[in-house]
């Protein structure tokens, strides 16, 4: 494929290949929290709009695309939660902090609280924050994250476990 050259037809084929993975990831992260809040399909579609806003990104691989899509999905979820919270001060978007194997780590969490905690983590351990973003928001496997970051898979798995525990402690308490 010529996605590396920004060819739109190749980009469209890549999107078709990863769409279901991203939708499942969005479904896991939203956890069916509130019927009126952001739906997984809408989250993925809005993320795709961000990804295809006219700028040409030379995708290096499927994993690279998934990493960028993870960041876009995070931005969409945060923007949605901010709009909703502004409209209704009490009603932020609730999500669940899960890993890609549907293991629930914490009860419903506010996406804005997760964003703040991730920003704090990024200040201390930027690589761990990026791992969380790719794993959680992008649904990427440890192997895919290792490919994007150039790190060993075991390092990614350790980073995910450490970051997840740190976020849980920050957001829910000991």
Judged against a pLDDT cut of 60, whether residue 163 lies above it is answered with yes
Q: Is the per-residue pLDDT at 101 higher than 50?
A: no
Q: What is the mean pLDDT of residues 38-56?
A: 78
Range of the domain at 82: 3-171
Mean pLDDT over 159-174 rounds to 86
Question: With pLDDT > 90 as the criterion, what percentage of the chain qualifies?
Answer: 20
pLDDT tops 50 at residue 105: no
104 phi, psi to nearest 5 deg: -75, 130
| Relative orientation angle of helices 62-87 and 142-149, to the nearest 10 degrees | 110
Mean pLDDT of the residues in the chain: 77
Residue-level pLDDT at 171: 82
Summarize the confidence of residues 8-36 as an average pLDDT: 73
Structure tokens at 157: 């798995």
Tokens of 136: 């959680």
The pTM of the full predicted model, rounded to 2 decimals, is 0.60
pLDDT of residue 62: 79
pLDDT average, residue stretch 141-155: 93
Residue 123 CA to residue 71 CA, distance in Å, equals 17
Among 9, 126, 14, 121, which Cα is nearest to 66's? 14
pLDDT for 107-136, tens place per residue? Answer: 456 777 888 899 999 999 999 999 998 888
Count of domains forming the chain = 1
Q: What is the pLDDT of residue 30?
A: 73
């Amino acid at each position: 494929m010529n996605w590396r050259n920004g060819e739109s037809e190749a980009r469209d084929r890549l999107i078709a290949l990863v769409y279901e993975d991203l939708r499942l990831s969005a479904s896991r992260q939203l956890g069916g929290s509130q019927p009126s809040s952001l739906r997984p399909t809408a989250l993925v579609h809005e993320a795709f709009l961000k990804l295809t806003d006219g700028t040409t990104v030379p995708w290096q691989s499927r994993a690279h695309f998934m990493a960028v899509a993870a960041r876009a999905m995070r931005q969409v979820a945060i923007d949605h939660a901010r709009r909703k919270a502004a409209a209704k001060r009490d009603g932020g978007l609730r999500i669940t902090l899960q890993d890609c194997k549907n293991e629930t780590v914490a009860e419903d969490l506010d996406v804005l609280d997760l964003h703040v905690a991730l920003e704090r983590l990024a200040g201390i351990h930027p690589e761990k924050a990026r791992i969380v973003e790719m794993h959680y928001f992008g649904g990427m496997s440890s192997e895919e994250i290792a490919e994007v970051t150039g790190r060993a898979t075991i390092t990614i798995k350790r980073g995910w476990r450490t970051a997840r525990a740190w976020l849980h402690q920050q957001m829910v308490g000991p």
